[in-house]
Amino acid sequence: MREEQIFAKTLEELSALAKEQGNMLSEEQVTEAFDKAKLNLGEPQLEMIFAYLKNKKIGIGQPADPFDYMTQEEIDYLEEYLKAVQAGADVTDGVKEAVLLSAMAGDADAKHRMIEIFLPQVAEIAKLYAGQGVFLEDLIGEGNVALTMAAEMLDCAQNAKEAEGTIASMIMEAMENYISENASEKKTGEMLAENANDILEKAEELSKELGRKVTVEELSEETGISEEKIRDAARITADHIEFLESEG
């Protein structure tokens, strides 16, 4: 395995470890991981790695402060949300365990009560994912949906502790999937915009050569870009490729 691949794999493993530890790593864990990978990194390189991890919302030596990555609007929303749900979740550990056991047994009222109890935890988990390109309100919404689904999937749990772990895992997975889907959509949008800009430039060049607007067919023949892609670019720009002859 090449050194670059080992480096990337080590970073990936550290990120996974941080997730297990509440988005936190110690400096020793980071340095030991790279030493184990036989990557001889100097102090400047380690500082860059620490900066990278912090940028990924991973605390070094102490948990990252989620409020550093939240807008004032998100902070206000979080406060209002917690204010609305906290009263229904204020129970002892014993009561929580009893509710979980009843929910595991299929009791409908217990499932509803369980959801109320865990609503604040959804917000606490959402804070861990703040600043990753999606709104906190949307993360909480995805988490609440996952919580509702989890209430119907606890019959396989062996005990209350395992059920609680299942709930947390489903909430986290839902939020991670939402972030991943949005990142993919954003990347696709950026690629489409880049392609549209490229086609715009080529249309302008050909238009200047011919001294008039060009047709889709002419641009396709000249550039080798398919007519379909050219039409897609025109749609993306709301038909504002001024050097391209309108088709309708």
Which CATH number belongs to the domain containing residue 228 in this structure?
A: 1.10.10
State the Cα–Cα distance between residues 191 and 236, nearest whole angstrom: 11
Same domain, 48 and 115: no
Same domain, 93 and 105: yes
Which three-class secondary structure state does DSSP give residue 164? helix
> Is residue 51's pLDDT more than 90?
no
Q: Where would I find the H helices in the chain?
A: 3-20, 27-36, 43-55, 72-89, 93-104, 108-128, 136-150, 160-210, 216-223, 227-236
CATH number for position 76: 1.10.1740.10
Same domain, 120 and 222: no
What residues contact 206, with CB distance under 8 A and at least 6 apart? 214, 218, 219, 222, 223, 243
Residue 81's pLDDT is what? 94
Q: Apex CA 69: angle with CA 68 and CA 73, to 5°?
A: 100
Q: Is residue 241 part of a domain?
A: no
Question: pLDDT above 70 covers what percent of the chain?
Answer: 88
Residue 14: exposure state from Cβ atoms within 10 A (0-12, 13-18, ≥19): buried
Average pLDDT over every residue of 46-62: 82
At 235, phi and psi to the nearest 5? Answer: -65, -40
Q: Is residue 248 part of a domain?
A: no
Average pLDDT over every residue of 49-56: 82
Q: What band does 118 get if pLDDT is binned at 50, 70 and 90?
A: very high
Q: Is residue 247 part of a domain?
A: no
Same domain, 37 and 130: no
Tokens of 117: 């109890």
Same domain, 35 and 11: yes
Domain boundary among 181, 198, 217: 181
* Number of separate domains in the chain: 3
| 68 or 120: which leads in pLDDT | 120
State the Cα–Cα distance between residues 146 and 122, nearest whole angstrom: 9
Residue 101's pLDDT is what? 95
Residue 224's pLDDT is what? 81
Average pLDDT over every residue of 76-105: 93
Average pLDDT, the chain: 84
> Is residue 111's pLDDT more than 90?
yes
Question: pLDDT above 90 covers what percent of the chain?
Answer: 35
Q: What band does 245 get if pLDDT is binned at 50, 70 and 90?
A: low
Same domain, 107 and 190: no
Domain boundary among 164, 181, 198: 181
Q: Is residue 128 part of a domain?
A: yes
Q: Is residue 243 part of a domain?
A: no
At 60, phi and psi to the nearest 5? Answer: -110, 110
Q: What is the largest CA-CA distance in the chain?
A: 81
Q: Is residue 246 part of a domain?
A: no
Determine how β-strand 59-60 pairs with β-strand 24-25: parallel
Same domain, 99 and 172: yes
Picking from 28, 34, 20, the residue whose alpha carbon sits closest to that of residue 60 is: 28
Residue pLDDT, tens place only, 149-198: 999 999 889 999 999 999 999 999 999 999 888 876 666 556 666 677 77
Residue 68's pLDDT is what? 74
Same domain, 129 and 168: yes
Domain boundary among 26, 45, 64: 64
Q: What is the pTM of this model?
A: 0.57
What residues contact 128, with CB distance under 8 A and at least 6 apart? 22, 23, 57, 66
Same domain, 201 and 168: no
Q: Is residue 157 part of a domain?
A: yes
Same domain, 177 and 200: no
Q: What band does 114 get if pLDDT is binned at 50, 70 and 90?
A: very high
Q: What band does 247 get if pLDDT is binned at 50, 70 and 90?
A: low
> Is residue 7's pLDDT more than 90?
no
User: Domain residues for 135?
Assistant: 67-181
Residue 158's pLDDT is what? 92
Distance (Å) of CA 37 to CA 11, 15, 31, 46, 231: 11, 15, 10, 14, 50
| 161 or 53: which leads in pLDDT | 161
Same domain, 137 and 42: no
State the Cα–Cα distance between residues 54 and 58, nearest whole angstrom: 5
Same domain, 58 and 76: no
